[in-house]
Structure 1
Amino acid sequence: MPKPPVPRLTVITLGVSDMRRSITFYEALGFVRKMHATGEVVAFFDTGATVIGLFPWDQLAQDATLPDQPRPGAFRGMTLAWNCRSAKEVDEVIEFAVSKGAQRLKPSHMTDYGGYSGYFTDPDGHPWEAVVAPNIEVGEDRRVHLPD
């Protein structure tokens, strides 16, 4: 029996309504765009561990054989996270994102689990949490390090 494949998350692709606006937004947040040869057909950003991909919403839905309409106006059941090293960094990340066109969803606050977090959305409403979580270390390499 062959060995099973090694599980890994490599790319998170976000459906977007305006490629140019979304590319500009993610570049403004400081994510480094790679593979510029794809133009505005698809965009890839290095996140330090995985990749964020941007693809036109209707084409992504078609590719996944899902309906393009109606587009959800409510919670989609997932968030993206930007883990931080301190509460001060959480506040800075949220203020920075808002200054680049994000919408603030929830102000930074102490959480019931002993962390500190707040939320913003990208131009298409994809929610991001900026967070400091107990026992989740953000190293000097800016990557998340989880305990065993």
Structure 2
Amino acid sequence: MSPEIVVPRFTVVTLGVSEMRRSIAFYASLGFARKFRATGEAVAFFDTGGTVLALYPWDALAQDAGLPDAPRPQAFRGVTLAWNCRSEAEVDAALAAAVEKGATLLKAAQPTDYGGYCGYFADPDGHVWEAVVAPGIEVGDDGRVRLPE
């Protein structure tokens, strides 16, 4: 029997959260569509238009990964999530909506050195999101990102 060929794919990003109910409400309020609700509050899945955003209790996720759940990092964690937008106005609107729903504005939107426009917010558990419009990266009418070859 020959070894199976492994095809790399990015399918789900799971965020460890402190309060499932609060985080579910936050991401639903941003407009992400919750799917597979049969899981209740044990785990929550949101359709993001290409991948899945999952929420799982912080301590249980750490335990599942075989890592300690404390101390929880207060500094930059080395990861950002991106919300690619079609225009500067959409970046501003995304940041405003996130803050209105309970996010913390980390950096107001401004022009970037690569010709884009972006700002940053943190969700209620400190997960960092970038709202960005970037030259050469197209966001289709379906909300999916298309990269040039």
In the TM superposition, 1:1-148 aligns within 5 A as: 1-148=2-149
**Aligned CA-pair RMSD:** 0.8
Aligned partners of 1:48 and 1:9: how far apart in 2?
Answer: 13
How far residue 9 of structure 1 moved from its aligned partner, in angstroms, is 0.5
The secondary structure found in structure 1 opposite 2:78 is coil
The secondary structure found in structure 2 opposite 1:13 is strand
Post-superposition CA distance 1:107-131 (Å, at most 9, x none): 0000011100000011000000000
TM-score (normalizing by structure 1) = 0.98
Extract unaligned runs of 5+ from structure 1. Answer: none
How far residue 39 of structure 1 moved from its aligned partner, in angstroms, is 0.8
Percentage identity across aligned positions? 70
The secondary structure found in structure 2 opposite 1:131 is strand
Aligned partners of 2:141 and 2:29: how far apart in 1?
Answer: 22
Aligned partners of 1:134 and 1:3: how far apart in 2?
Answer: 38
Task: For 1:138, give the aligned amino acid.
Answer: V
TM-score (normalizing by structure 2) = 0.97
Extract unaligned runs of 5+ from structure 2. Answer: none
Aligned partners of 1:2 and 1:133: how far apart in 2?
Answer: 40
Aligned length: 148
The secondary structure found in structure 1 opposite 2:60 is helix
